[in-house]
Every structure is written in structure tokens, then in C-alpha cells.
Structure 1
């Protein structure tokens, strides 16, 4: 195994790595900097888009050349060619201390996104589903910081966490309706200063969790047991995603500056996009938003 800096752009709050298998490009975001970045698997041809508000996550669209983005003020379409954004729906009007955060697309092309309290204090957040017909449905509430949505390889189990709950949850996921049920604790996060952040599932059904402020990536088996821990060069790791032409490279985002004054000191590689090679493990292709 080897860990390398793929792109050093010093993202303030790097998040949401997303490998698009159709374009063979890696996307990631700077939530606080309000940017989307794109690169090749080699870290070349870097492109960036500026956004009008903080971004929590994005999904590539099946139709046209663009994405659906979860901004602080709701769901929007982004046109890659022009950089223009258009509002779809704001599910939380009148909640100025909240913003949309982490999100992913299920196998049927629905965008599942959670919101968070920007002060990371009150359970004001919720989990939403944006359907391809652009309707929004609330799936869960009473969340402080929504993070880590992802699915088992067959799509039947949904994983999700409230970062400060010290737990990662599993739900039964209905691929026909997009509903969740049977919430249970998948894993308890063993940390003193850290928290579960972004996550992904590999082809073997194991869940990878970035444990922010601890500088660790933890791989859990499908029954919730810790299989391995990878120590990263920086503490503020935020999210993970398998990608590359063979889906065998693990990409890791990080923060140059935390949104709140927790563990402010980190190495000179803070804010970098990392790539981990030679793990001998492959990921699962991510779906596009079906609109």
C-alpha cells in the first residue's frame, strides 16, 4: 500500500470524492470554498467551478453535461458548460443555521442527501430523497451532522450516520420506493476526538469510513467489525471513494481548515486530495442522478 498526494489545492473543507465511470473523471468539492473540482485518475487536467453558496455534495446527471448539487440553500442543477446554477427545491426554508451536506445516488438514480446544523450543536438536520421527478421526500430527522450515506453492493442496505452520535447506522432500503426501515447500529465508532465522516462501500461489501480529526480510515466488514485501520498523513480526513479505470484506487479528501475550532493544527499536506494504491480491493460504480 502507498499513499500519495494526487492534487494539492488546499481545500478549506474538502469533501465528497466522486468517481464517474462514464467520463473517467474524479470530482470533489470544497464545501466552504464553494467549489467543485474535477481531474483525471492521474491528477491532471484539473478543472474547477465556482458556486454561489456552500456545497455539501454533488451527483452527475444522466441527461446532458451537468450535475445536481446540494448547496446550503437547497438542491440545484449545475451546467458544466456555462457554470450556471438553477434552483430545484429548498427543503429547509427559514432555517438559516442549517445547510445540505453529504449525499449519494442510489441504484435507481435518486439523490439521498442529509442536512446539518452548521454550529454542530442542535439536532436540526434531516435526511432527504430527491427523486428524478424532482420531488423531495424526508426520510429521517433529529440529526446534528448528516454524513456517510452509501449502500451495500446489492443496494438493499443503506448506511448513514450522524457524525457526533458515535455510531454508523444501517437500514433496510427499498429500491422500488426509495424508503428506509429497520434502523439499527452497524458499528460503534471507537474514537476520543474524532467522528465518522464520509463513507463508501467496496465490492466485497465492506464499509470504509473516514474518521475526521483522528486521521484514520476504518474498514468495517459487512457485520460491522473493524477489518483494518489506515493512518493518514493528516488528521482532518473527510471522505473516501474508490475510483480509477479499474476502481482500485481509494481517493481521500481532507480539510485545510476545520469549520469549527477542533484540532486546528495539521501537517503541510492538509487540504490535499490523496490517492491510496495497491490495496488489492475494488470499489462499486457510483450511479448518476436519473434526470
Structure 2
């Protein structure tokens, strides 16, 4: 079950909190954010990584069908246009009422229909405030909260048919991954139940992705590995990584068989070489394309 595949380190990239990788098949490029550095990165295939400075922290980014990105940031959800001269244009598209002092958006992903989802969190995790809420953005704009009571919202992803939504809370007080029934016509989750409890495994459930087999991959933060759960919630693969704090991953490349994994600097001496790096690996399974935000 455990394996340590070879990894390729992306030269020239070191993030304090690397997060939210997504694959833009049209552009042939990955994007991800470095949250405290207020940066967004792009890596073309082939190509060298390039970064843009943002006006505020972005917890998550995703490609948009008409070009550019959508991002969950400190003060709301924004359209983000990365301009070739190195500048950035941001346009506010939605701001929830609960996004108060000390809060920001965190993890985010699009569903199979191109709706963008992201949740809020209180940034000082040591305070243990379960005031985060989950939102949907679509043709109607930003929704009212659809899930509440979250410490550190994370782990959004959808089954291949789009009819199961996954969500996690990576705070040490929670460490849970939930599954929901998902109405693909309306974008409404229901029937919340525990899918995986990482207290029974290792680490905290950070970012996630679902592969073509319908298996759910969770970045086991603090445990230095990726965990792959079958649709029944059974652990069937554990991939060891060279850093302590993997944060999120997504499949990409022309064949959707390459995983790009971001990480967080842990501050531990044994993690000094690899912590905060971004790597790619070939786990032997195929992913699903990231659906661009359609709205």
C-alpha cells in the first residue's frame, strides 16, 4: 500500500504556503498560489515557472473558461487576469457577509459543471473558531452559506459523475472528510456523512482531488504523504513525499497522469531542503480534467 515514487522538483519555486494547484488544459499550464506571499504561479508544459504579485492573499485559484482565473481571496471572490507585462487585474465578483476581520477564503475547486466553490476560515488556527462557511459561485452570483461550522475548510472535490461532493476540515479538532449527495442540476449538497476520519490514519486532511477511478486523494498535512481512498472510504494507497506538509495536488499534463503537489514550509530542520517546494510525480493512475469556471 505504501510507496515512494520518484518526484521531480520544480526549479525556481519555493512557497511559504503553496496551495490550490489546478490544471488548465486549454492553456497547457498549472496554476497555484502562495498564500502569505500574495503570489500566483503558472507553469506551462513545457516551460519555466512564472509568478505574479496579487493585491491580497489568495487561498485558492482556478481557471476560467473565458480566460484568466477565479480566486478566493481575503476580501471576497475575484476574477484575476494575469497580464504578460507582470501586472494583475482583479475584479470583485462576490463578497460574503461573514468575511470579517481575520478571515479569508481557503480551499476551492470547481464542480463538474463549472461552478466554483470555496469556504472561509479564521486565519489564526490556534483560536479554534468554527466560524467558516462554504459558498458556491455560479450564474446567480455568490450563494448564501451552504455548509457552516467549519474550522479550516478544505478538501473539495467531486466524483467522476459529479453526484458526490467531498469536503474536509483540516483543523486538529476535526480531521474529518465528509461526503454529500450532490444535485448536479442545482449545485446543492445534501445528506452529509463522514467519509474518512484521519484520526484513524495519519495527518490532517488538506487539499484533495478525485481520480478517474473515483478514488479520493487527500494531502495528509503533517504526515508527509498522500492518502488515496476508494469510493467506499477505504484506504488503498499511501504515497510518501519528501516534505512534511503537502497541501494539495491535481492531475494534469496531456495524459492527465501527472500529479503536481504543493507544500508548506514546516520550519523543522529535517524539512529544510524540501519544505515549500512544488513537485510532480507519476502515481500510475489517471486523473480527471479540472473543469474551468463557466461563470
Structure 1: any 5+ residue segments left out of the alignment? none
Question: Cα offset for 1:47?
Answer: 1.9
Equivalent pairs counted in the alignment come to 284
Among candidates 149, 155, 158, match of residue 162 of structure 2: 155
Among candidates 276, 280, 283, match of residue 275 of structure 1: 280
Matched with 1:108 is 113
Among candidates 283, 286, 289, match of residue 290 of structure 2: 286
Query: 2:132 & 2:139 partners in 1: Cα distance?
Result: 23
Is 1:238 aligned to 2:244, yes or no? no
Aligned 8 A contact 1:253 1:273 in 2:
yes
Aligned pairs for 1:160-239 (under 5 A) are: 160-164=167-171, 165-190=174-199, 194-239=203-248
Aligned 8 A contact 1:100 1:115 in 2:
yes
Question: Cα offset for 1:193?
Answer: 7.5
TM-score, with length taken from structure 2 = 0.91
Aligned 8 A contact 2:56 2:73 in 1:
yes
CA shift in 2, pair 1:181/1:268, >3 Å: same
Question: Cα offset for 1:257?
Answer: 4.8
Is 1:59 aligned to 2:66, yes or no? no
Aligned 8 A contact 1:127 1:141 in 2:
yes
CA shift in 2, pair 1:154/1:162, >3 Å: same
Moved over 2 A (4+): 132-137, 190-194
Is 1:4 aligned to 2:8, yes or no? yes
Query: 1:170 & 1:193 partners in 2: Cα distance?
Result: 19
SS across alignment from 1:227: strand
Matched with 1:49 is 52
Is 1:83 aligned to 2:88, yes or no? yes
Structure 2: any 5+ residue segments left out of the alignment? none
